[in-house]
Amino acid sequence: MLLRTVERAVTLDPGTLSHALAKVPLKPKEPFTLEGYLDAPTQDLYQFQLRLKGKASLQVDGVPHPVAGDEAWTFVPVHLTPGTHHLKATFEPSGNPTDLDLRFGSRGAQTIRIEQFRCPSP
């Protein structure tokens, strides 16, 4: 998974998203984008779950999906067909960026692991 800020692009280390973000020195309130490719094994209704103090936007295969609320859990359903899909998520934290909790799944969402995503070129 690729993390972009205004100043740089960094490929995140394997592990949970929260641990990978902690290794990248992001400033408080620094906007950033996460981008990567994920594989859906079957056609299904998948779901992203996220919580962040601040604002967020989510795109899957270039299609924007509404993200509501500040500090509350937001559930974003996405119909996916089998194959590879592009995820782009932009965050504007109002506090510490490592407070982001992002989960994904079909029958039960799980904490995102960096290994689930292939990284685009920086």
Q: What is the pLDDT of residues 11-46, one digit of tens each?
A: 998 988 888 888 988 888 899 999 999 999 999 999
The pLDDT assigned to 78 comes to 94
Q: What global pTM score does this model have? A: 0.87
Closest CA to 104 of 68, 73, 84, 76: 76
Length of the chain: 122
Single-letter code of the amino acid located at 21: L
Task: List, in order of start, the domains of the chain with CATH numbers.
Answer: 2-116 (2.60.120.380)
The pLDDT assigned to 69 comes to 63
